[in-house]
Amino acid sequence: MATILVVDDELGIRGLLSEILSDEGHTVELAENAAEARASRERLRPDLVLLDIWMPDVDGISLLKEWGAAGQLTMPVIMMSGHGTIDTAVEATKYGATAFLEKPITLQKLLRAV
């Protein structure tokens, strides 16, 4: 199965996604901010990243742009947001996101996207 990096500043979201994805047989790495996400992405070379848009230090769109500009967008990235808009989803896909999940994320939506 895949190695999936989950990046979200909310502990509850990270825990829930980790539990679901682990139960499906995936290896899951968790990061709560952009700094941890950068380190995990470099160390693990994940097969997929689930990336929250709104984080306190660096937002997910900026991190997505950074990875793209550095040639590090070598894996699919699914953006997540509880406050997303159509404009945000369009911007995310413009910078390389493969999908956009709106929180709360249901089991069915998550498994379909992964």
- Residue numbers of the domain that contains 1: 1-46+56-62
pLDDT in tens, 49-69: 999 999 989 999 999 999 999
Specify burial of residue 33 (Cβ count, 10 A radius: 0-12, 13-18, 19+).
Answer: middle
Residue 19 domain-assigned (yes or no) = yes
Residue 68 domain-assigned (yes or no) = no
Instruction: Give pTM, 2 decimals.
Output: 0.95
pLDDT of residue 83: 81
Residue 16 domain-assigned (yes or no) = yes
Which residues, 6 or more positions from 33, have their beta carbon under 8 angstroms from its beta carbon? Answer: 7, 9, 55, 56, 57, 58
pLDDT in tens, 77-108: 999 998 878 898 899 999 999 999 999 998 89
Give 80's DSSP letter.
Answer: E
- CA distance readout (Å), 58 to 8, 61, 64, 114: 11, 8, 10, 24
Which CATH number do you get for residue 15?
Answer: 3.40.50.2300
- Number of structural domains (the chain) is 1
Residue 76 domain-assigned (yes or no) = no
State percent of the chain over pLDDT 90.
Answer: 88
